[in-house]
Amino acid sequence: MAKRYTDEFRRDAVRIAINSGLTRPQVSSDLGVGLSTLNKWVQKHQHDDLMSGPHEDVEKENTRLRKEVRLLREEREVLKKATIFFAGQNQ
């Protein structure tokens, strides 16, 4: 009877196999799964694994950065106008 692994275990195994710097035979041995099984999981889940999890954090960070860029642009425009105003007073 084949051993059943949870989806979370599979995702973690794929993440370790891709990002740890260890060889796949080392990872499969450390996790106690067959090399061919690990290779199948990597092929099946590597794209899913890259897009899950921190993807929401990236969206939040993009939103925060967009707000910051908008604020900095507004401040720059104010400073440009102030420069023109004060340059005109010196004449």
Q: What is the pLDDT of residues 45-72, one digit of tens each?
A: 766 645 555 567 778 888 999 999 999 9
CA atoms of 78 and 45, how far apart (whole Å)? 50
Give the pair of three-digit tokens for residue 24.
């796949």
* Class in CATH terms, 1-52: mainly alpha
Domain ranges across the chain:
1-52, 54-91
Predicted pLDDT at 91 = 65
Rounded (5°) CA angle 23-24-27: 90
What is the structure's pLDDT at 35? Answer: 93
More confident residue, 89 or 75: 75
The pLDDT assigned to 54 comes to 58
Sign for the pseudo-dihedral over CA of 10, 16, 22, 27: negative
